[in-house]
Amino acid sequence: MIFAVLAPLLVAFFVPLVSRFKSSFHTGIFVFFVPFAIFVYFLQFIGPNFTPLKQTYNWIPSLHINFDLYLDGLSLLFVLLISGIGSLVVLYSIYYLDRSERLGQFYVYLLMFMAAMLGIVLSDNVFVLYTFWELTSISSFLLIGYWHFKERSRYGALKSMLITVFGGLSMLGGFILLSVVADTTSIQAMIAKSDYILSNDYLPLILAFILLGAFTKSAQFPFHIWLPDAMEAPTPVSAYLHSATMVKAGLYLIARFSPIFSSYEWFFIIVSIFGIITLCWGSYMAVRQTDLKAILAFSTISQLGMIMAMLGFGTNIAIFAAVFHILNHATFKGSLFMIAGIIDLQTGTRDIRKLGKLFTLLPITGTLALFGTFSMAGVPIPFLNGFYSKELFFESTLALQNGTLSITSFLTTVIPYLAVIGSIFTFVYSMYLFFGLFGRNKNNEVSLPKQPKEAPIGMLISPSILVIGVIIIGLMPNLFNQNFLAHAAASINPTAGIDAISFWHGLTPAFLMSLIVVVIGTILALTRTKWNTVYDLLPGRFSFNTIYDQSVKSIDTFSSKMTNFYMNGSLRTYMILIITTTFIVSFVYMYYTDGFTIDFSDLAKITTLEIVVVVAIVVAAIGTIFSNHNVAAILILGITGYGVAILFVLYRAPDLALTQLVIETITVTLFLLCFYHFPKLTKRNESKKTVATNLFVSIGFGVLMTMIGISALSSSWFDKISEYFIETSLPIGGGKNIVNVILVDMRGIDTLFEIAVLGLAGLAVFSLIKLRKNKGAK
């Protein structure tokens, strides 16, 4: 399994090289075989006797962070979708993207995104999962902003990253709490300890953080606003993000952690509410759009809400329906996005108001769109897979059970009605999309930028395969049940699943709900122009995008003011802020942790010589303040360094004394060379406020450092590391001089880099001297 995650990243290293030859062959041809090989490999696990697999690779064992990979029915479903549709997207992009595009960058971003998604669904370690989670945010940012010369592309990329990264950081907080509570970083181990987790006081906080990560990634209301703006990405990216990858990551997260939280009543309440609201709002807003990709974006939001709600229900039939619809949605939504890209390229516009009567000009595209849109609408036709999972969705809304809270009883009553309302608008936007493109257009006088003609056969292959998948699943749904879907559902809930998927169950309440959707949906679709003024009332002028824009603007303005306050070009201001912050934080922390512990019981006697040396150091340090001559100030300051060296001699540390003498001599010499060329010191006319501030900061910081030094000697919060050096310097380092062993062996890497820094500094100084000499010679 490890190759599935690493292969896209490894191949990405060679893409820039291969893209140099894009004039001879399209770079996508080279990339295509990566997801296709992964897809073919994982096909072998489909079957009734599939059992989960686990692989472990050590990474950071000291923090219990290992590269643990876990393949069960749920992860297998997502791996096949990511790699299978990824193959079709790459194939589609070969014909969609011209060779003049920056193909090297595009496919590097795409492979990085693919690897991140595979890492998410295969990871069993929460922190490894989080690492890949944020990698999807970064790579999707690059993909959405691929056409960076467009302002809307940059805006959409930044919005998606800000919202999803915000959720990702919240999710990380939930993972940290969860790992502490469960005392493990393995997801499967956490599931085994679900009873203990559910009884912990931190459960509400853990759930809130994890749900926030899932809702932002899967564009749940009100975090859905980033998804329509992500449509500025190239159509292959949109098809991939919306059908099988990024927006499905949040659904995967909820599904993966459902075994832990599903019995918690607030999990049902929160997830169901957000899911059903997202379904209704997304389908309602989709009818308002005029851009093809915007319609599909809001349709994706509504479909994600539907799946999220079913995961929140947590019943056996709801879990199976959610898994089933994840598969169905990937097929018809991926094909519809590719069809939107075809229409855009072949007509020169995505504005549905300018389009119409395209069926005779694009018959193959129109036929594919017919199957895709009618399946998305859930029309009760046997060979359309969308109807089956939507019917199961209706059944799951009718099978909800009351809980201990009154809000649960209210939800079980109202959710079936909301499900019908959301599905009605789903039907409306599906019909609006299809007949707006291929039916009669009232704006016949509008001329298209390009004369429409059927797309090249290569561009039609990928959407055709997906539509064939729609038909095959619709005609033979049970072929995928026990061999595939049942394993995915059982990974979420061991008892989830149904014996057989059938089209006709009789005149059940769920089927009657479907008929209501079709009848009312047809009436609304036919009369859309008469009632669409309702959007002037709801949402009217209100927009979550406005809230987002104002929030970002306010944060940016506040940040600018704060930055301009302390970044004023004054070194004195910088030093005061740094030292004052250090003083306050250190003092408060040590005060509340009893850090100022002073113990004089085990101190050696202070000799007269030591007192004389310390007094000399103090007098020299104070004398530098009152010196008005450069050289004199440096020489006086040198007394402090040499005084410290004398103290080292008195304390029988000749190595430290020698080091101090060498460093002090070099420092004084360099200072003398530099300050000799500086202007003479003059008495500064500083205000009393400035002098008082300087005095307060310097004395306060000096006292703090003194107190820290004394308390460090007096306290024993943990075993001193000096004992380790004493015991191991000879057997490990091979030397009796402990200080030398520490510097050369124990801290060998640190010493190496210190020497490297000094060497670079010396080269820089030498270069400056040579530059000055050469300039003087001219």
What tens digit of pLDDT does each residue of 73-123 get? 999 999 999 999 999 999 999 999 988 888 999 999 999 999 999 999 999
Per-residue confidence at 773, pLDDT binned at 50, 70, 90? low
Q: Give the total number of structural domains in the chain.
A: 3
Amino acid at 63: L
Q: Is 421 contained in some domain?
A: yes
CB 650 within 8 A of CB 609: yes
Amino acid present at 405: L
Q: Which residue has the tokens 């291929």?
A: 438
**What are the distances in angstroms from CA 467 to CA 385, 429, 518, 573, 753?**
10, 19, 22, 66, 60
**What are all long-range contacts of 15-18, with beta carbons under 8 Å and residues at least 24 apart?**
15/104, 15/107, 15/108, 15/111, 16/104, 16/108, 18/104
For tokens 């003398």, name the residue. 672
In a domain, 251, yes or no: no
- Structural domain boundaries, residue 773: 720-778
> pLDDT at residue 384 above 80?
yes
Q: Cβ atoms within 10 A of the Cβ of 8, count?
A: 27
**pLDDT tens-digit map of 394-443:** 999 999 988 889 999 999 999 999 999 999 999 999 999 999 999 876 55
**SS3 assignment, position 67:** strand
Kindly state whether residues 558 and 410 are assigned to the same domain.
no
Block residue for tokens 């005095």: 695
Residue 162 is classified by DSSP as H
How far is CA 720 from its chain centroid? 40
Q: Tell me: the pLDDT tens digits for 693-727? A: 888 888 888 888 888 888 877 777 677 778 888 88
Q: How far apart are CA 261 and CA 492, in angstroms?
A: 11
* Contact criterion met (CB below 8 Å) for 671 and 559: no
Structure tokens at 17: 């090289």
Cβ neighbours for 640, distance < 8 A, ≥ 6 positions apart: 617, 620, 621
The total number of residues written for the chain in this structure: 778
Q: Are residues 551 and 459 in the same domain?
A: no
Q: For residue 572, name the pLDDT band (cuts at 50, 70, 90).
A: confident
Alpha carbon distance 622, 110 (integer Å): 63
Q: Which residues are 342's β-sheet partners?
A: none
Examine the domain organization and report whether 311 and 333 are in the same domain: yes
| Residue-level pLDDT at 777 | 54
Same domain? 529 vs 558 = no
Helix 246-261, helix 103-122: angle, nearest 10: 10
Cis peptide before 35 (omega within 30 of 0): no
Does 17 reside within a domain? no
In the chain, pLDDT over 70 holds for what percent of residues?
97
Task: Indicate if 322 and 356 belong to the same structural domain.
Answer: yes
- With b for 16 or more beta-carbon neighbours within 10 A and e for fewer, the 605-625 pattern comes to eeeeeeeebeeebeebeebbe
Q: Is residue 506 helix, strand or coil?
A: coil
- 208 found inside a domain: no
pLDDT tens readout for residues 608-621: 888 999 999 989 88
Other Cβ atoms within 10 Å of 177 Cβ, number: 19
**415 and 554, same domain (yes or no):** no
Structure letter (DSSP) for residue 60: E
How many CB atoms are closer than 10 A to CB 367? Answer: 14
Q: What is the pLDDT of residues 342-371, one digit of tens each?
A: 999 999 999 999 998 899 899 999 999 999
Residue 85, in any domain of the structure: no
Point out which residues pair with 57 in neighbouring strands: 67
| Residue 676 belongs to some domain of the structure | no
List, in sequence order, the alpha helices (H) in 145-262. 151-182, 187-192, 194-198, 203-217, 226-229, 235-243, 246-261
Residue 194 lies in a domain: no
- Which of 514, 536, 558 delimits the end of a domain? 536
| CA–CA dist 735, 655 (Å, integer) | 14
Tell me how far apart the alpha carbons of residues 503 and 510 are, in angstroms, rounded to a whole number: 12
Distance of CA 415 to the CA centre of its chain: 31
* Per-residue model confidence (pLDDT) at position 365: 95
d(CA 106, CA 110): 6
Is 459 in the same domain as 550? no
Domain's final residue, options 536, 557, 576: 536
Question: d(Cα 130, Cα 280) in Å, to the nearest integer?
Answer: 30
Point out the domain boundary residue: 536, 551, 577. Answer: 536
Choice among 236-250, 357-371, 403-417, 506-520 with the minimum mean pLDDT: 236-250
User: What is the C-alpha separation between 507 and 742, in angstroms, rounded?
Assistant: 83
For the four alpha carbons of 19, 25, 27 and 31, in that order, the dihedral sign comes to negative
**Claim to verify: residue 513 and residue 557 sit in the same structural domain:** no
- Structure confidence at residue 183 as a pLDDT band (50, 70, 90): very high
Pick the residue with more confidence: 310 or 49? 310
Q: Which of 264, 252, 186 is nearest to 213 (CA)?
A: 252
Q: Does 469 lie in the same domain as 419?
A: yes
Q: Is the peptide bond before 222 cis (omega within 30 degrees of 0)?
A: yes
> Within a domain: residue 298?
yes
Q: How far, in Å, are 164, 174, 185, 414, 632 from residue 169 at the CA level?
A: 9, 9, 17, 33, 55
454, 479: one domain: yes
**287 pLDDT above the threshold of 90:** yes
Of the segments 397-411, 441-455, 648-662, 670-684, which one has the largest average pLDDT value? 397-411
SS3 (DSSP) at 54: strand
**pLDDT classification of 215: cutoffs 50, 70, 90:** very high
User: What are 648's strand-pairing partners?
Assistant: none
Q: Which amino acid is at 737?
A: N
Please state, in angstroms and rounded to a whole number, the distance separating the CA atoms of residues 627 and 336: 80
Say if residue 7 is exposed, middle or buried (CB neighbours under 10 Å; 0-12, 13-18, 19+): buried
Residues 6+ apart with CB under 8 A from 83: 4, 35, 36, 38, 39, 42, 114, 118
Q: Beta-carbon neighbour count of residue 194 at 10 Å?
A: 17
Q: How far apart are CA 396 and CA 388, in angstroms?
A: 12
Query: Mean pLDDT across the stretch 654-674?
Result: 84
Got the DSSP string for 265-326? HHHHHHHHHHHHHHHHHHHHHHTT--BHHHHHHHHHHHHHHHHHHHHHH--HHHHHHHHHHH
What distance lies between CA 713 and its chain's CA centroid? 44
- What mean pLDDT is reported for the chain? 90
C-alpha triplet 269, 224, 489: angle, nearest 5°? 50
CA-wise closest residue to 111 among 56, 207, 32: 32
The pLDDT score that the predictor gives to residue 631 is: 78
Q: How many helices (H) and strands (E) does the chain have?
A: 31, 2
Residues near 734 by beta carbon (within 8 Å), at least 6 away in sequence: 741, 745
What is the C-alpha to C-alpha distance for residues 611 and 316, in angstroms, rounded to an integer?
82
Same domain, 380 and 330: yes
326 and 451 part of one domain: yes
Q: How confident is the model at residue 541 (pLDDT cuts 50, 70, 90)?
A: confident
